[in-house]
């Protein structure tokens, strides 16, 4: 699992060079920024030992700079500076900049600065911390060149809290500064004040206190304290007498959390988003008050995120508790217009969530037909499927990828066959979601359902429906619910906190993509880049795993095993022991692997039609092994060794 930290924070910068790192100017930084609202302070000091061992420190620093420029919001004339960066990490010293372990400056460059345009900048000053006052003027001069004429400049510093000489220089240059206070934080004498501010269009409640304190060898400064649940959680010092305390604290609190991720690869995207929503908003929609408006904005943001994930319009996104529930709701609505003589086509390869909702329509006289499979490689028999689509066919239900054996179906071709007969196409993309890019516009499907827990989010379902179908079909709903699309398909109070987590999981994937391809300037482009990297990495693991499994005597692997056809499958593998004993059933194998720390599934995992067709249902189904992008080569090798020992025992 160590790969997750590395992938999450350390995809290579691609074409970035040391010279590009020295002066990332407006022309270079502009396409990378994508900044949209208020600014924040983030330390970009790389202390990831294992990564720094194999990475040039300035390239690593540039990667952090790009991440900051992509994520930080905007306020004209506000700049932030990292006081010094520590390139020493791991088992060997790095010969550039200040060496924290050795306590002296290594030979190398004296300072490095990175600037952006339109009042946005990240400035790095490399050297001995006590020498910051000597190296800062050059960087500040560069910032002033990049700033619009007459811009008001504020410098934000790392959590040093005591740079009196630097602060005096800022005062001489008519530049404000802000910095974190180091722990332990003192409880202020003043009682907290509660303010409501607006950040990025959302109302925020901030409890804060303000005092004037004496900074040694500098003079007086403002000390601002942030409270949460009655406890002091953050203190900052600033020279800016005019800035709103609540706004400064809100900015820095948000950036502080992100700073810790950049330094230690410890972000919990979805968990933090869910907890933040429950703490801050947790209100129903449509109210005339701040927390309700925040919930409305959060839902709109989540629809936009999933629209980027699926490549559709935000009003074509429907949220629900899971894919199964959403599909049943849609089957009932579609079934209103169906009756005797109408046909629906499903496949033997599908999860039952894309079968039983359509079988339920047999009560109305609808005929449900089955597309068969090639048992030797667990792929759809397209000739059989084509022969069963006719002018009576009203809907074709198909899975994008098999959750049982990993087969990726030719969905685009199947959608074309359905449309040629005047039928709707309903795609189950739950299992495909974590492994490949989904583009509903390119597929031209009418509906596509997925579950966000599969791509590293909370347990929620998401349905894409073409706008015209969501408007035309008649949902079963309560009367007060709006008839607007897509809300008419969302019944009762939604799971708002988990929907907030959906946005976070899309942000996570986009962040992976931007670390893989710094030219990805939109979220959709970043998602595309993420899945290109995920696909490449996962398939390397899959090839290694399949090759190893094929060498274990007595194991039978189901699905595609020909390496020349691996593009037709995802890294989900189903296997059994031939002529199994009671100690070799799928459940027995999963239990023994679980005891060794490998978590695998056994049974039919709701692919009941497939296990019945292959006649393995009565004897325990399959053992399923799944890989995703945070698994490692070392884990694959340990799994193979464990499985070989278990089967041979």
What are the residues facing 389 on neighbouring strands? none
Query: For 309-327, what is the mean pLDDT?
Result: 97
Q: Which CATH number fits domain 534-648: 3.30.930.10, 3.90.1150.10, 1.10.10.10, 3.40.50.2020?
A: 3.90.1150.10
Residues 346/368, Cβ–Cβ less than 8 Å: yes
**What is the distance between the alpha carbons of residues 318 and 484, in angstroms, rounded to a whole number?**
12
- pLDDT band, residue 175 (cuts 50/70/90): confident
Pairing of strands 622-626, 601-603: antiparallel
**Cβ-Cβ contacts under 8 Å for 183 (sequence gap 6 or more):** none
**What count of residues does the chain have?**
649
- pLDDT band, residue 580 (cuts 50/70/90): very high
DSSP assigned state of 182: P
Residues 361/387, Cβ–Cβ less than 8 Å: no
Q: How confident is the model over 117-129, as pLDDT tens digits?
A: 333 444 444 444 4
Q: How confident is the model over 49-84, as pLDDT tens digits?
A: 333 334 444 454 545 554 544 544 444 444 444 433
**What is the distance between the alpha carbons of residues 450 and 447, in angstroms, rounded to a whole number?**
10
CA distances from 180 to 33, 159, 404 (A): 24, 4, 51
With residues binned 3-state (H G I as helix, E B as strand, rest as coil), the percentages for the chain, rounded to 5, are 40, 20, 40
Supply 426's token pair: 């309903």
Strand order, beta sheet including 80-82: 80-82, 121-124, 114-115
pLDDT of 255 reads 52
Strand order, beta sheet including 601-603: 555-558, 572-577, 622-626, 601-603
Q: Is 290-505 assigned to CATH 3.10.20.30?
A: no
Query: For 551-558, what is the mean pLDDT?
Result: 96
Q: Higher model confidence: residue 246 or residue 406?
A: 406
Sign of the Cα pseudo-torsion (272, 273, 274, 279, in order)? positive
Sequence ranges of the domains in the chain: 2-267, 290-505, 534-648
Query: For 533-547, what is the mean pLDDT?
Result: 95
- pLDDT band, residue 599 (cuts 50/70/90): very high
Give yes or no for residue 289 having a pLDDT over 70.
yes
Supply 509's token pair: 């994937």
Q: Please measure the distance between the N-terminal and C-terminal CA atoms of the chain and give it in whole angstroms.
A: 28
pLDDT of 507 reads 87
Give the percent of the chain with pLDDT over 70. Answer: 71
Model-level pTM?
Answer: 0.66
**What is the distance between the alpha carbons of residues 400 and 432, in angstroms, rounded to a whole number?**
6
Q: Higher model confidence: residue 116 or residue 273?
A: 273
pLDDT of 173 reads 83
Sign of the Cα pseudo-torsion (147, 150, 151, 152, in order)? positive
Secondary structure (3-state) at 606? coil
Supply 281's token pair: 């908003």
DSSP assigned state of 454: G
**What is the distance between the alpha carbons of residues 319 and 306, in angstroms, rounded to a whole number?**
10
Q: How confident is the model over 411-427, as pLDDT tens digits?
A: 999 999 999 999 999 99
């Amino acid at each position: 699992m160590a790969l997750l930290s590395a992938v999450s924070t350390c995809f290579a910068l691609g074409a970035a060079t040391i010279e590009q790192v020295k002066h990332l100017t407006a022309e270079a930084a502009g396409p990378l920024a994508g900044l949209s609202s208020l600014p924040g302070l983030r330390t970009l000091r790389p202390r990831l030992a294992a990564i720094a061992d194999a990475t040039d420190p300035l390239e690593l620093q540039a990667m952090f700079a790009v991440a900051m420029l992509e994520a930080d919001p905007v306020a004209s004339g506000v700049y932030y500076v990292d006081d010094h960066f520590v390139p020493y990490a791991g088992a060997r010293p790095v010969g550039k900049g200040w060496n924290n372990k050795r306590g002296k400056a290594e030979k190398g460059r004296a300072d490095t600065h990175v600037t952006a345009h339109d009042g946005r900048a990240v400035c790095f000053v490399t050297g001995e911390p006590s020498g910051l006052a000597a190296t800062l003027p050059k960087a500040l001069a560069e910032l002033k060149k990049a700033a619009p004429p007459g811009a008001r400049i504020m410098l934000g510093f790392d959590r040093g809290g005591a740079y009196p000489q630097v602060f005096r220089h800022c005062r001489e240059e008519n530049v404000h500064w802000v910095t974190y206070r180091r722990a332990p934080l003192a409880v202020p004498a003043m009682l907290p004040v509660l303010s409501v501010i607006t950040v990025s269009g959302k109302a925020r409640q901030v409890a804060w206190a303000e005092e004037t304190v004496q900074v040694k060898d500098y003079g007086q400064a403002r000390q601002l304290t942030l409270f949460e649940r009655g406890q002091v959680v953050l203190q900052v010092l600033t020279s800016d007498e005019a800035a709103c305390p609540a706004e400064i604290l809100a900015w820095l609190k948000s950036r502080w959390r992100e700073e810790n991720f950049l330094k230690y690869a410890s972000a919990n995207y979805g968990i933090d988003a869910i907890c933040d929503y429950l703490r801050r908003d947790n209100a129903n929609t449509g109210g005339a008050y701040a927390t309700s408006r925040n919930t409305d904005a959060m839902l709109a943001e989540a629809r936009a995120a999933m629209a980027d994930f699926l490549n559709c319009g935000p009003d074509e996104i429907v949220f629900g508790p899971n894919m199964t529930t959403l599909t049943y709701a849609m089957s009932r609505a579609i079934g209103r217009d169906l009756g005797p003589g109408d046909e629906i086509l499903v496949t033997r390869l599908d999860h039952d969530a894309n079968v039983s909702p359509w079988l339920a329509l047999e009560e109305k006289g609808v005929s449900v037909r089955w597309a068969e499979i090639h048992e030797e490689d667990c792929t759809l028999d397209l000739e059989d499927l084509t022969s069963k689509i006719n002018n009576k066919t009203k809907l074709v239900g198909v899975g994008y990828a098999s959750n049982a054996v990993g087969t990726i179906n030719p969905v685009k071709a199947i959608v074309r066959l359905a449309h040629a007969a005047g039928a709707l196409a309903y795609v189950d993309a739950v299992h495909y979601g974590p492994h490949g890019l989904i583009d509903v516009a390119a597929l031209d499907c009418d509906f596509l359902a997925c579950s966000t827990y599969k791509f590293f989010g909370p347990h929620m379902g998401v349905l894409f429906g073409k706008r015209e179908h969501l408007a035309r079909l008649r949902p079963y709903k309560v009367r007060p619910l709006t008839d607007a699309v897509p809300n008419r398909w969302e019944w009762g109070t939604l799971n708002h906190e988990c929907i907030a987590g959906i946005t976070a999981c899309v942000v996570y994937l986009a962040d992976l993509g931007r670390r893989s391809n710094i030219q990805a300037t939109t979220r959709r482009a970043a998602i595309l880049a993420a899945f290109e990297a995920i696909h490449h990495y996962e398939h390397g693991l899959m090839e290694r795993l399949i090759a190893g499994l094929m060498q274990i005597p007595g194991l039978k692997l189901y699905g595609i095993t020909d390496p020349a056809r691996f593009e037709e499958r995802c890294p989900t593998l189903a296997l059994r022991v031939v002529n199994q004993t009671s100690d070799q059933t799928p459940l027995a194998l999963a239990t023994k692997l679980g005891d060794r720390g490998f978590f695998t599934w056994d049974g039919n995992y709701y692919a009941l039609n497939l296990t019945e067709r292959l006649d393995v249902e009565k004897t325990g189904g399959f053992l399923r092994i799944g890989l995703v992008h945070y698994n490692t080569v070392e884990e694959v090798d340990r799994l193979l060794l464990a499985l070989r020992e278990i089967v041979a025992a």
